[in-house]
Structure 1
């Protein structure tokens, strides 16, 4: 991040190693390391939001949307159908809405204005009757040899709110419990819009009424608090996971019914490329098939957001941040400093470059996690750098260096805040 500052290998009070001062790719779709950290942070955001809303007296639903698919379907085509197409200014291609965006559009949803410009009680839409204030969407993808790609959307829908104002000035004024008839109307609307749009794109994509859209209501504050219970833990097979993890922790997912999650696919590809026999490597598919599927996955997810909040929902719930790649980098940097530092060492920039060129950076991180600081020095010298390039740091010195990192982060956050202000003003055509 700063060539003059070098790198700090530190150990937290919990005994975990962190490397401060390095730029990270922040690719939530493609990088197992960055994805785990980003999704951890996003899951905590989602949990805070749902807990706060249910505590206020609001209602939350976990809704899963799926499409029918076959082994011959391309992932990009399925993603366009459910999530919409991506805009390309260079090619003058406009963004086209997918089935997800269609859920909250139209007169039945928003209501119709009378000739005097106002909406009377008999002209209210479904949105008004259920007290909809927004939702959080996460797209998950699995793949299998028999049924091919299976992209699907998990969404937490926030209901039961009364509001005042519009757009960025919108504020929650109270909460209520939507009636059973209003919730049934919402479910019918979502199912109808979802399936009909997919049928228009390709009749083979249309799911059954039973499998296309699934609803689960979060009844109590305890339901909401349970969202974060397994946030930092790995999913164990088909055991139930919290709705927050269902939404955010795609890195923990294991595909069902013979399917693989993307990082399972990547892990198998790595095993096969490393010489592990096909029948001993986890997952399925030979190396050419795995390689082709991963390449298709990279292309189909490029430029898409894995997790996204509807516009203005964050400020309504008092949650800072955003959903862009820059915001993901903020999450990465912020997660490094959540714990107190126990000890660590500073490594000069030039020495660290030598370490990485010889692929010794993982070994150095593992030595740091074990508190073997002499081992870090030995690795640095083995890479061709002088031993003086490594300097022991006290917890206070690490904290000072971390404060300097946070100062850099603050500058980036200011730029991100300015960008979000533009988005909230409605001038960002790429925003949902």
Structure 2
């Protein structure tokens, strides 16, 4: 079995690989950077008499995506060597029961056939760790889907809201985030609170029920020609009689006032507050899991040159983006990681989980510490000396792919890894002898 040279990209990922793969002939894939929302959306390039017609299409290859996540994480390891993320999925986790450190194991899901590691430290960062972010996002997606289904059963209405602010290249992202947090607080409390505005309108029609049930707010960011673009997506749950036009009226006024009171520029009339019906909430939730950010990071053509944080890491990895050189992408990612450290990615309003019968929230660290699937069985235990070779040859993702295919091949692969290292060591020793002569 031939092994990649030390220092090569992880697994089987190459500069031309992409998570946007599937079976058979594939359509041309492009992507569109939406200036109004900051979203980077992969599309299928459907051509009608030579004219490009965009059509949303999310195709997904789990093994390629996993390899890509480990590849992107290797960039973070180099960029932030002293960070928790650099230690994630590399160091052994403490053994809280027996003391010392846990053994490194490869387990396989009985239901899905997916292999995963157990016994490794996980940082739990949704902002800087592509590996942990994928696991956390998938768990959050399931909860979002459950919330939408529960609301539908209760006869509630869901509205999808996007809130943005004008921004420029010279803006300080940390300052923007601080003011955005203040703006969201102003929208949730006091006389101008959104909930109070809705209730006043609702009661004026003679209704006595609660107008709004609660909301889920997600913080996202992209980088484009005008710098960092932080923005919010909100799923608002209301009484069935509240329509989209009422939500647009209330939120656009409340958002504008909150921004001005927080020291932010006045939101754009056209793009500052966009409200769509529940079908858009369903679409947003369906792409919020592991496919989403990895797909965004691997788009090959990005009109208007927008990048997600993972896209910045990919620019470092590929090294051929004319707008994001490796050095520029590194610098932008470091600024982003510092600004978003400690930020809350997803927020549920008080009482919403209980109202929709969704289980109590688990923090990110708890989610990543759990097995990928409790219905799993042990395939192999990897001695630490062998694990160091896996890291040396950057085979974390490839090892899992082999484990999913054949456990005998897994053992053979680990054996060949050791043999390859011995040969490399002998060659180094031989070279040293030549130098001495």
TM-score range, shorter chain: 0.5 to 0.7
Unmatched 5+ stretches in structure 2? 1-92, 423-437
Give the aligned partner of residue 11 of structure 1.
Answer: 108
CA deviation vs aligned residue, 1:351-406 (integer Å, no higher than 9, x gap): 53564466454443343233222224415644989xxxxxxxxxxxxxxxxxxxxx
Which residues of 2 match residues 179-258 of structure 1 at below 5 A? 179-180=242-243, 184-202=245-263, 205-218=265-278, 229-230=286-287, 234=291, 249-253=292-296, 257-258=304-305
1:102–1:49 distance in 2 versus 1, CA, 3 Å = same
Q: How many angstroms apart in 2 are the aligned matches of 1:289 and 1:120?
A: 50
The 2-side partners of 1:358 and 1:122 are apart by: 63
Q: Does 1:73 align with 2:186?
A: no
Q: Is 1:308 matched up with 2:354?
A: no
Per-residue CA distance 1:59-99 (angstroms, 9 max, x = gap): 111110000011111211221222x2xxxxxxxxxxxxx22
Relative distance call for 1:230 and 1:339 in structure 2 (3 A) is farther
Match in the other structure for 1:56:
154
How far 1:316 sits from its partner (Å)? Answer: 2.2
Matched, 1:142 2:240: no
**What TM-score, normalized to structure 2?**
0.63
Query: SS of 2:126's equivalent?
Result: coil
Does structure 1 residue 269 correspond to structure 2 residue 269?
no
Q: Confirm or deny: 8 A CA contact 1:354 1:383 kept in the other structure.
A: no
Equivalent in 167, 190, 193 of residue 106 of structure 1: 190
CA 1:360/1:227 → structure 2, altered by over 3 Å: closer, same or farther?
closer
1:322 aligns with 2:388: no
Structure 2 distance, partners of 1:214, 1:291, is 32
Partners of 2:366 and 2:174 in 1: CA distance: 28
Aligned in 2, Cα 1:358/1:120: closer, same or farther, shift over 3 Å?
A: closer
Structure-2 separation of matches of 1:200 and 1:212: 15
- Aligned with 1:369 (options 401, 404, 415): 404
Cα separation, 1, equivalents of 2:293 and 2:212: 26
Confirm or deny: 8 A CA contact 2:211 2:242 kept in the other structure.
no
* Partner residue in 1 for 2:241: 178
Deviation at 1:136, TM superposition (A): 0.8
User: How far is the alpha carbon of 1:190 from its aligned partner?
Assistant: 1.6
Distance 1:218 1:360 in 2: 42
Q: Quick check: 127-136 or 72-81, which moved more?
A: 127-136
Instruction: State the match for 2:425 in structure 1.
Output: none
Q: How many residues align?
A: 316
3-state SS in 2 of match to 1:106 = coil
Q: How far apart are residue 104 of structure 1 and its match?
A: 2.2
Distance 2:118 2:251 in 1: 45
CA contact (8 A) 2:139 2:289 kept: no
Change (3 A) 1:26 1:271: same
2:75 aligns with none
- TM-score after normalising by structure 1: 0.63
Supply the distance in 1 between the matched residues of 2:219 and 2:115 (Cα, whole angstroms). Answer: 30
